[in-house]
């Protein structure tokens, strides 16, 4: 089984500790160091959880199993929050140092901690067009310096048999 569904499903199924990377990814009340302040766009609804993850900027490690990354000493950070009932949505995730990273954002609409192809949304910096395979890390990268970087990620949901995309404005 290959493709984005296989990668996301395998990562969710193999994750033995949902707390991996959370302490390292948590921002302070007023974050001053390297971090990403992510504005979330295109939410389908206000249900469930949002999960923002930070990975090394290479295709091998991007969306790899968090247990494997942490065990091998590679960068991995995670922030999970309930979707707020109203207002703009912004998440903050700390980076270990200034540099280039790949990020993913999941809208887990039913909160089951697994990617559901038919209902959940996913997004990446740069809003790459999604198909059946995961995007390359180069299409999901963002750069951070010594202070927080503001970026936006638009969530994409399955909109047809073989198509993912942002929802149409209503």
pLDDT tens, per residue, the chain with 170 residues: 334 443 443 344 344 466 777 888 889 888 899 999 999 999 999 999 999 999 999 999 999 999 999 999 999 999 999 999 999 999 999 999 999 999 999 999 998 988 888 899 999 999 898 877 889 999 999 999 999 999 999 999 987 655 566 766 54
DSSP string, 81-95: EEPPSSS-EEEEEE-
Q: Where are the alpha helices (DSSP H) in 28-105?
A: 66-71
**pLDDT, averaged across the chain:** 86
**24 membership: H or E segment, kind and range:** helix 22-25
pLDDT at res. 7: 41
Residues 6+ apart with CB under 8 A from 99: 34, 57, 143, 144
pLDDT digits (tens, 9 = 90+) for 117-128: 889 999 999 989
Q: pTM for this one?
A: 0.84
- Which of left, alpha, beta for 138 (phi over 0: left; psi -120 to 50: alpha)? alpha
Assess contact for 137 and 59: CB atoms under 8 A. Answer: yes
Rounded CA gap, 44 and 42, in Å?
Answer: 6
pLDDT at res. 114: 85
pLDDT digits (tens, 9 = 90+) for 56-86: 999 999 999 999 999 999 999 999 999 999 9
């Amino acid at each position: 089984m290959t493709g984005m569904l296989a990668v996301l499903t395998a990562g969710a199924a193999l994750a033995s500790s949902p707390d991996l990377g959370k302490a390292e990814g948590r921002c302070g009340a007023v974050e001053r160091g390297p971090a990403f302040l992510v504005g979330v766009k295109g939410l389908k609804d206000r249900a469930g959880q949002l999960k923002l993850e930070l990975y090394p900027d290479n295709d091998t490690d991007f969306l790899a199993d968090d247990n494997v990354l942490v065990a091998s000493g590679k960068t991995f950070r995670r922030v999970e929050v309930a979707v707020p009932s109203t207002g703009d949505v912004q998440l903050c995730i700390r980076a270990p140092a200034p540099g280039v990273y790949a990020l993913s954002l999941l809208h887990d609409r039913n909160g089951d901690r697994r990617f559901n192809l038919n209902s959940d949304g996913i997004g990446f910096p740069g809003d790459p067009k999604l198909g059946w395979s995961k995007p390359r890390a180069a299409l999901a990268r963002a750069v951070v310096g010594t202070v927080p970087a503001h970026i936006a990620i638009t969530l994409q949901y399955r909109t047809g048999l073989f198509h993912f995309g942002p929802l149409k404005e209503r």
